[in-house]
């Protein structure tokens, strides 16, 4: 698509004469490992040992559904270096050493867990969960604690009422605590006949409510499921032992050691036994199993069995249906029990530590009130009844491999009034606007629970909870579901580089020790932001963070993550150092190898379990290999955020008159280095340009009026420059484009969260949507919509890098050709 821009006379025309197909987006295959905190023991996998005659012939046929390994799946720790033209030997050696450390970390995970799927499924066991056997289970990791109990509304905040028992079911060697809250039997009700009685808490009635007894169910399974001879009663089993004894010693065999004669050698007895098994007719086959030791090394896992019977058992489906039939429904449970902890009850976890007694908000809590009306923070037990649970209505939209048009937004400041907006208000008012504007994805910041609202949501306190300022978990599910119904993907900012240093509601000093989730000493504290740095090399911390990623995808069906401020975790100086571009800066003593390995594991887990997931890296240091496959030495991200573009435009707006702009330098920065830009997200403004002290570009242009122009001409100048900046950036983007909420119509005011410097005012913590009715803002918005429609029709973002045909600084004219 030829395009010509004249910065001196900004009359802009958007034309196109062809359409192009979307290029593919790289995805990676990965090796999985995983975790199970309640068991925490090695899982051994047995193998079937057969005799040489029984060994199956090796075949090259592939298992159905298993993908054949390709050249790109082969692991090469330095594979991407030749692609991007890096020849530095020191950096190549660092990548090899990092890969070795990665394999060691993976081995440590294997020593505790099964695969990455289980390692990232901790939320299924940790925290508060209702068990099918009329109880609630609670599990927490606090290795520094000596005693653990739950306190809350349900037990009048007593630290001794519900505590973990010592031993296997209460506290293990890894520091995991397990507490059971038994439902309370109602007056006049009889205890369960069977301790294993289960309930279905969702449906009012279940099969077990029909009154079927255990004996009837066992008889039913015996008649329908098992074949004759597969199930033996206790008497039948004793009869089998007596019959076997009679076969060995005869009908009048010895009954004492004194009567026992000398026993023949095993080989001789085995031959005699095999002869008896032949039966009457000649040529009858011998039994298809062996019971004699042929001198092989003893292996408890290498059991020689009957392959025919084994195959028959494998073909049978587990008789779970009969077990479920005994389960009773919600109505039966409500009639028989009071819940041990009710939906909406407040609770905290109580620890006795070497430093004294502590009360903490559980680390895996899914709904938290961080500071409720000046009261102490607490978790909320979230177990809504079936009629209040949100029911998903829409399927996920198809994820575009390219042409991502991302609308970045913050729920709290999305309203037009000076107050904290809610999930429901965002769903009803902002989502339709995003759809109308032509964007196909939203990126939510500040969704995860945080106590300090002025931190924009980046000082996270509770990683598994949505922010209670905006609504409930069900409200957020509705937001995601409605976005999917409009064909809009939902990405969220995830902050795993650091955490809030708050002790009462956050993870800092969680169990009284300084090294539970975070590094000790200076390394455990961010150099400038007062936050804590995760101990990414610890298996249990990895378990927590990987599970957190999978939780948001599984529970809330989000479509991707933007990993915030990777420099804070990848370097011990937290990225606050001068970077000259030397590769030595990416592999020296200040690089945190454990953090890099975590990012590799996170990307492998997400892309393996959720192939359509999108991961975005925000790294101000532009670490080499951000978007390269993990099998080729990269970190495995799909996209990276190009931070240089808005910085370049901001410098020009604040430091150079528009008549003196160098078109050559601008285009050079936008177009050059396309090796990395193929996976970049370009933008003119994101939240960083508009939040807390900074100014939006519209505010800068409208406030810097030229004295030689009248007000209407100054407005036209501001409008034209904004359009040119947007269009040039958009057409030179690398696969994706981002815009912060309100900047699509040139919002003239910055965003400022309530803090002490503004007397905690919410005056600027909102968006002036009414400006869309004014001519200046309406025209800017129409132009932004035209850009989005152009990409939807012609896939501008999906095309290869533009070719610069002409660039003249004196006339300020540039011409580029965009080809497939």
Catalytic residue list: 618
- Whether 353 and 146 have beta carbons less than 8 Å apart is answered as yes
- Which backbone phi and psi does 237 adopt, to 5 degrees? -70, -40
Q: How far apart are CA 564 and CA 557, in angstroms?
A: 20
Tokens (6 digits) for 242: 């007596």
Q: How far apart are CA 537 and CA 548, in angstroms?
A: 16
Q: Which residues contact 738 (CB under 8 A, 6 or more apart)?
A: 406, 407, 408, 443, 641, 681, 682, 683, 686
- Whether 186 and 334 have beta carbons less than 8 Å apart is answered as no
Other CB atoms closer than 10 Å to residue 767's CB: what's the count?
23
> DSSP letter string over 3-38?
EEEESSS-----------PPPPPP----------TT
> With helix as H, strand as E and coil as C, how does 630-674 read?
HHHCCCCCCEEECCHHHHHHHHHHHHCCHHHCCHHHHHHHHHCCH
Sheet holding 135-141, edge to edge: 127-131, 135-141, 176-182
Place of tokens 């099969």: 207
- Whether 724 and 784 have beta carbons less than 8 Å apart is answered as no
Identify the sign of the CA torsion 121, 126, 130, 135.
Answer: positive
Helices (H), 462-538: 473-485
SS3 category, 611: coil
380 forms beta bridges with: 346
- Whether 536 and 594 have beta carbons less than 8 Å apart is answered as yes
First to last CA, the chain: 9
What are the distances in angstroms from CA 576 to CA 526, 806, 819? Answer: 10, 39, 39
Tokens (6 digits) for 509: 């000093």
Q: How far apart are CA 448 and CA 561, in angstroms?
A: 12
Closest-CA residue to 617 (of 582, 569, 650): 569
Tokens (6 digits) for 323: 């077990």
Tokens (6 digits) for 669: 């920065």
Tokens (6 digits) for 174: 């890894």
Q: How far apart are CA 519 and CA 527, in angstroms?
A: 13
Q: How far apart are CA 77 and CA 593, in angstroms?
A: 14
- Whether 514 and 523 have beta carbons less than 8 Å apart is answered as no
- Whether 441 and 483 have beta carbons less than 8 Å apart is answered as no
- Whether 533 and 569 have beta carbons less than 8 Å apart is answered as yes
Other CB atoms closer than 10 Å to residue 817's CB: what's the count?
11
Query: What is the CB-side half-sphere exposure of residue 22 using CA atoms within 13 A?
Result: 16
Q: How far apart are CA 501 and CA 616, in angstroms?
A: 25
């Amino acid at each position: 698509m030829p395009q010509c821009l004249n910065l001196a006379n900004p009359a802009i025309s958007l034309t196109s004469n062809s359409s192009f197909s979307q290029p593919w987006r790289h995805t990676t295959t990965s090796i999985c490992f995983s975790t199970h905190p309640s068991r925490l023991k090695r899982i051994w996998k047995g193998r079937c040992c057969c005799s040489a005659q029984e060994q199956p012939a090796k075949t090259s046929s592939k298992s159905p559904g298993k993908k054949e390994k390709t050249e790109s799946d082969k692991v090469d720790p330095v594979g991407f270096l030749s692609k991007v033209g890096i020849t530095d030997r020191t950096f190549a050696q660092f990548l090899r050493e990092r890969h070795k450390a990665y394999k060691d970390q993976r081995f440590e995970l294997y020593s505790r867990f099964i695969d990455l799927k289980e390692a990232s499924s901790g939320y299924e066991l940790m925290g508060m969960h209702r068990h099918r056997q009329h109880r609630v289970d609670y599990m927490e990791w606090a290795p520094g604690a000596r005693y653990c109990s739950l306190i809350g509304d349900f037990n009048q905040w007593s630290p001794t009422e519900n505590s973990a028992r010592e031993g296997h079911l209460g506290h293990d060697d890894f520091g995991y605590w397990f507490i059971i809250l038994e439902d309370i039997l109602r007056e006049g009700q009889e205890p369960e006949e069977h301790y294993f009685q289960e309930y279905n808490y969702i449906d009012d009635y279940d099969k077990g409510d029909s009154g079927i007894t255990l004996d009837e169910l066992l008889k039913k399974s015996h008649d329908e499921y098992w074949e004759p001879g597969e199930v033996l009663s206790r008497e039948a089993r004793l009869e089998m032992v007596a019959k076997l004894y009679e076969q060995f010693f005869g009908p009048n065999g010895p009954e004492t050691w004194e009567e026992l004669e000398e026993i023949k050698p095993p080989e001789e007895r085995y031959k005699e036994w095999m002869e008896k098994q032949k039966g009457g007719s000649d040529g009858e086959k011998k039994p298809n199993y062996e019971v004699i030791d042929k001198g092989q090394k003893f292996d408890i896992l290498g059991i020689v069995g009957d392959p025919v019977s084994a195959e028959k058992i494998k073909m049978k489906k587990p008789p779970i249906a009969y077990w479920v039939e005994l389960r009773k429904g919600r109505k039966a449970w409500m009639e028989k029990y009071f819940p041990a902890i009710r939906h909406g009850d407040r609770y905290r976890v109580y620890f006795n530590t070497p430093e004294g007694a502590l009360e903490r908000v559980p680390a895996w809590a899914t709904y938290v009130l961080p500071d409720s009306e000046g009261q102490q923070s607490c978790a909320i037990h979230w177990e809504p009844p079936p009629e209040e649970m949100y029911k998903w209505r829409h399927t996920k939209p198809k994820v575009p491999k390219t042409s991502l048009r991302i609308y970045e937004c913050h729920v709290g400041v999305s309203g037009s009034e000076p107050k904290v907006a809610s999930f429901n208000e965002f769903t009803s008012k902002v989502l339709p606007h995003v759809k109308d504007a032509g964007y196909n994805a939203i990126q939510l910041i500040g969704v995860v629970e945080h106590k300090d609202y002025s931190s924009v949501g980046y000082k996270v306190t509770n990683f598994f909870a949505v922010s209670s300022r905006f609504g409930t978990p069900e409200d957020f599910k509705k937001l995601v579901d409605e976005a999917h119904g409009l064909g809009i993907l939902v990405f969220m900012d995830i902050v795993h580089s650091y955490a809030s240093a708050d002790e009462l509601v956050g993870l800092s000093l969680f169990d009284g020790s300084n090294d539970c989730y975070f590094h000790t000493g200076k390394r455990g504290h961010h150099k400038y932001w007062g936050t804590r740095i995760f101990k990414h090399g610890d298996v249990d911390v990895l378990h927590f963070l990987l599970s957190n990623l999978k939780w948001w995808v599984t529970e809330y069906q989000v479509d991707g993550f933007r990993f915030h401020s990777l420099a804070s975790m990848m370097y011990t100086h937290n990225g606050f150092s001068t970077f000259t571009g030397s590769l030595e800066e990416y592999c020296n003593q200040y690089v945190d190898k454990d953090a890099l390995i975590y990012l590799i594991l996170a990307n492998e887990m997400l892309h393996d379990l959720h192939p359509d997931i999108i991961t975005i890296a925000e790294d101000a240091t532009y670490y080499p290999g951000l978007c390269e496959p993990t099998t080729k030495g990269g970190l495995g991200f799909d996209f990276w955020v190009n931070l240089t573009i808005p910085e370049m435009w901001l410098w020009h707006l604040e430091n150079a008159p528009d008549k003196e702009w160098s078109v050559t330098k601008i285009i050079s920065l936008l177009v050059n280095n396309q090796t990395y830009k193929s996976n970049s997200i370009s933008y003119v403004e994101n939240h960083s340009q508009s939040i807390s002290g900074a100014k939006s570009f519209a505010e800068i242009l409208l406030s810097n009026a030229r004295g030689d122009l009248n007000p209407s001409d100054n407005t036209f100048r501001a409008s034209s420059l904004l359009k040119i900046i947007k269009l040039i950036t958009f057409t030179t983007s690398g696969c994706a484009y981002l815009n912060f909420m309100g900047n699509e119509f040139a919002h003239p005011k910055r965003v400022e969260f309530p803090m002490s410097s503004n007397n905690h005012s919410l005056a600027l913590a909102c968006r002036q949507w009414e400006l869309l009715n004014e001519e200046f803002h309406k025209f800017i918005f129409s132009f932004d919509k035209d850009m989005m429609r152009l990409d939807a029709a012609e896939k501008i973002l999906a095309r290869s890098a533009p070719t610069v045909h002409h660039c003249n600084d004196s006339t300020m004219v540039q011409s580029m050709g965009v080809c497939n």
